[in-house]
Structure 1
Amino acid sequence: MYFDSGTTKLVLPVNPEEIEVKYAQANEKYEVLKLGQVVIPTHVELRSFSFECELPAKPPIYTETPNYFISPDEYLKIFRAWQGYKKPMWFIASNGIGEDISTKVLIESMTIIERAGEEGDKFVTFQLIEYQEFAKRQDVVIKEKVTIAQKANASSQASNPKKPTTYMVQSGDTLWGIAKRFYGNGAKYTTIYDANKDKVKNPNLIRVGQVINIP
């Protein structure tokens, strides 16, 4: 079992007897009138790992690092530094029996215990949380692309202004009715009247067959 920060590979001197892997489902609870409490699943939480390992003060016979020895204090110094960097590291564990673990993690906590009769040895309980990349940069790029597309569309509309529509007045038409037909709001009849003052002297009087502009 070892950790790899990208610049430092740190093998634990003694493998833990067991690793607890936690899988959890996040849920939200609601009180519904006449139904009582209901639960709505929201998302699957990140995995967490916990285990206890021994950091011996002297090289034991059963060590996983027979070619070199690091003191418990040096191990803890490295782990605390990694916590301070606030960056994930690879956590690799394999025993050839169960499911192998190979994932990026953050060290949530370390609990250090010194036991009587084992002078200098330290026992550390690790709480690790799986690390998941946050695609913030990708979101920014997408937003920039949308903004550029919007600007291009606005520029196209500016260079190609919409031509006004014309309409021939039919029997029974009023400017109010025409505005409602084209704009969905009869109150906008003044927009049509303002665009046709050269031919419509009174907004309440329009002639059948008269061609008016719809801006």
Structure 2
Amino acid sequence: MAYEVYIDDMLLPVPPQKIPIKYPGQNKTVTLINGDEINLLRPPGLAEISLDIILPQMDYPSAVWDGSVDDAEDFISHLQDLKDSRGSFEFIVIRDSFDTNMDVTLEDYKVSDDVKEGLDLVVSITMKEARHYGTKVMNFTIVEDQPTPTAETPQDDRPAEQPQARTYTVQGGDCLWNIAKKQLGDGGRWKEIHNLNLDKISNPNKINIGQVLTMP
């Protein structure tokens, strides 16, 4: 098997032939008062994933049932539970070269009986990347007025030290998700790392060993 694909905790018995992941752009073109056009650059939108999954109804040597799902009916029932829950879950692709691991939501799914597939079922699903966020609470402390320093009060003219930028060197088996998980404690923050390293990473699913990444 070239790769393994997990939806939530379910291993797909037959990996899809294609795994298209689309990162829609959000750049906006505006026209200036003099008629010139400029492009306002914005971060990429949420990743969109579309898969056509074959659920075998017969015993195939190439199909792998690992016990995470019993049969096609169990798989479809679990998909419906994911859609009804309106929550996020993990989409994982394990490859020899690099892995993909992101939190997603189930947007839609469709079950088809395709004559070309014989007795097997074809399930088309659409998922979208889930970005986790929360409200930040800012605390303010009221400081009483301080006396104005006199000429005798020595002043520190040294420039304030600038914080050093954090970096991380890519190791074997790394992907942006597990780097964010290890370094930031939340794999869902991988997009922050990607946005800080757009000059080095053209494809967020492909990073190279030895790359030095700027960390949030």
Q: Scaled by the length of structure 1, what TM-score is found? A: 0.57
CA distance in 1, matches of 2:41, 2:95: 34
Structure 2 residue aligned with 1:113: 112
CA distance in 1, matches of 2:10, 2:67: 13
Q: Which has the higher contact order (CA 8 A, sep 6+)?
A: 2
Q: Deviations over 1:142-167 (max 9, x none)?
A: 2xx23xx25xx5xx68xxxxxxxxxx
Structure richer in strand, relative to its length:
1
- 1:28 corresponds to which letter in structure 2? K
Would you identify which runs of 4 or more consecutive aligned residues in structure 1 move more than 3 Å? 66-69, 117-120
Q: Deviations over 1:35-94 (max 9, x none)?
A: 243321122212222221101223322112166762222211111111111111111112
Residues 25 and 10 of structure 1: CA distance in aligned 2, closer, same or farther (over 3 Å): same
Q: Where do 5+ consecutive residues of structure 2 fail to align?
A: 146-216
Q: Deviations over 1:156-195 (max 9, x none)?
A: 68xxxxxxxxxxxxxxxxxxxxxxxxxxxxxxxxxxxxxx
Q: Scaled by the length of structure 2, what TM-score is found? A: 0.57
For the pair 1:128 / 2:127, whether they are aligned, the reply is yes
Pairwise CA RMSD: 2.5
1:25–1:41 CA contact under 8 A, matched in 2: no
2:11–2:66 CA contact under 8 A, matched in 1: no
1:49–1:127 CA contact under 8 A, matched in 2: yes
1:105–1:131 CA contact under 8 A, matched in 2: yes
3-state SS, counterpart of residue 105 of structure 1: strand
User: How many residues in Structure 1 have an aligned counterpart in Structure 2?
Assistant: 142
CA distance in 2, matches of 1:69, 1:87: 20
Structure richer in helix, relative to its length:
1
User: Which structure would you say has the larger Rg?
Assistant: 1
Structure 2 residue aligned with 1:178: none
Quote the sequence identity (%). 17
CA distance in 1, matches of 2:94, 2:106: 19
